[in-house]
């Protein structure tokens, strides 16, 4: 249990990769704060599952794009647990498939703003505590679209590319304070949302992936929990694609 006693905040923790990450972190001994903006019911169900499995968790509803709401979230966590050790940013800002020719500036700007706010504001909120502790782990969920473009995902991919760069600057500036920042970039991940990838598309992509399948949310969560734990203590500024070998670094 390499995260025993560590206080972790997972934004977007009520579904998909965020949900799997909350469960994995709890199994590693972390005290988990499940954040979600849209569904407090879904977040509470994960808290109940973690507690039933012998773990410790609470849920806090907040929009990660709001400095006021995130500030209150972090203050609640500190009042409850006394510290903040790990921040995992998995909040999903949505994906809109549009060619550049059809893409209005307003939609492009909104995608970039939401993606970067979802990282900037939670990071800004936890950094003072992590600096005072001389310890912190931050993991950002990106996407291979940020480095390996796909048709019609220019806004999403550009936002994720900005996130990748942002993480390296955080790693550089706050490394001297014992704070690491790393990026996990999944490719195709199985999802309950058929708009993300259908079963047939998953089979096709899996057929030419070296490991012969697409990722499950738990595959990505395992990498996130590793980067949050003690075994990754000398890693910062890294970018890890989780693609089963479809994209290799």
**Percent share of the chain, pLDDT over 70:** 97
Q: Contact 128/120 with Cβ under 8 angstroms? A: no
pLDDT (tens digit per residue) in 131-187 = 999 999 999 999 999 998 888 999 999 999 999 999 999 999 999 999 999 999 998
Nearest-angstrom CA–CA distance, 10 and 18: 7
Q: Does domain 7-242 have CATH number 3.40.50.720?
A: yes
> What is the mean predicted confidence (pLDDT) over 220-226?
97
Nearest-angstrom CA–CA distance, 62 and 38: 9
Q: Where are the domains of the chain?
A: 7-242
Nearest-angstrom CA–CA distance, 16 and 190: 9
Give the global pTM. Answer: 0.94
Nearest-angstrom CA–CA distance, 42 and 176: 38
pLDDT (tens digit per residue) in 12-38 = 999 999 999 999 999 999 999 999 987
Which pLDDT value is given to residue 195?
Answer: 45
SS3 content of the chain, % helix, strand, coil (to 5): 50, 15, 35
Q: Terminal CA-to-CA distance of the chain, rounded, Å?
A: 29
Nearest-angstrom CA–CA distance, 158 and 177: 30
Q: What is the CA radius of gyration of the chain?
A: 17
């Amino acid at each position: 249990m390499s995260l025993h006693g560590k206080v972790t905040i997972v934004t977007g923790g009520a579904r998909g990769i965020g949900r799997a990450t909350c469960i994995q972190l709890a199994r590693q001994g972390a005290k988990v704060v499940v954040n979600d903006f849209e569904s407090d019911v879904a977040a509470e169900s994960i808290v109940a599952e973690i507690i039933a499995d012998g773990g410790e968790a609470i849920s806090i509803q907040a929009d990660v794009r709001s400095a006021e709401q995130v500030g209150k979230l972090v203050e609640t966590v500190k009042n409850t647990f006394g510290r903040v050790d790990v921040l995992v940013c998995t909040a999903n800002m949505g994906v809109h498939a549009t060619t550049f020719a059809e893409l209005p500036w307003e939609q492009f700007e909104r995608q970039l703003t939401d993606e970067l706010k979802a990282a900037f504001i939670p990071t800004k909120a936890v950094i003072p505590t992590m600096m005072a502790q001389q310890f912190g782990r931050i993991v950002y969920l990106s996407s291979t679209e940020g480095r390996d473009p796909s048709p019609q995902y220019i806004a999403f991919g550009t936002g994720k590319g900005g996130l990748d760069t942002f993480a390296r600057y955080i790693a550089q500036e706050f490394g001297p304070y014992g704070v690491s920042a790393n990026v996990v970039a999944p490719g195709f991940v199985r999802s309950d949302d058929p708009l993300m990838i259908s079963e047939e598309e998953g089979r096709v992509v899996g057929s030419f992936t070296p490991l012969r399948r697409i990722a499950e949310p738990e595959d990505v969560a395992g990498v996130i929990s590793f980067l949050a734990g003690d075994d990754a203590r000398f890693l910062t500024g890294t970018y890890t694609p989780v693609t089963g070998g479809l994209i290799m670094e």
